[in-house]
Amino acid sequence: MDQVTVHVEVEINPTESEERVKRAVTSLFGELPTEVKPTANGYSVLTAEGKGQNTLIPLRDALRRDHIRDASRKPLNQGSRENTITFYLNKQVAFAGHVSFSQEQGESPLGPIKVTVECENPPELVNWLAPRTAKP
C-alpha cells in the first residue's frame, strides 16, 4: 500500500460530550489530530485525519478482536469507489472500543462516524483490513 489517507468526521450533538465523541474516534483510529468546528444548527463537527496505513491498525485489530472480519468485508466493499472507501460506524459502539457498521442516516440515534479512506487500491486495502477467515 503506497499512500493511504484516512478522514474521519462525526457530528457532536448538543447532548453529547466532546471528549466522549473524541474517545469514540481514538478508540478505533488512535491519537489522530482532531479539530472541532461549530455548525450553524448548534451542533459541532469533529474531524480527524491521518496519513499512512498505520492509522488503520487499531480498526484492523478491533475487527479481528470482535471476530467480524468476514462480515466487515461487505460494507467495506460496498463503500469502495475508484480510489476511496467510505463507511459509517456506530458512535456508541466505537466509544466502547468495538466496531459496528451502520448506515449514513437513521440507524444510530446519535449519528454515525463517517470514515473516508483514500488509497490507490481499495480491494487490496480491504483484504489487508479484513482478510477472509472463512473459505469462499
Q: Are 12 and 36 in contact (CB under 8 A)?
A: yes
Q: In this predicted structure, what is the pLDDT of residue 39? A: 86
117 pLDDT higher than 60: yes
pTM: 0.91
Q: For 103-120, what is the mean pLDDT? A: 86
The residues spanned by each domain of the chain are 4-129
Written out in words, the top-level CATH class of the domain with range 4-129 is alpha beta
The three three-digit cell numbers of residue 83, written as one number:
480510489
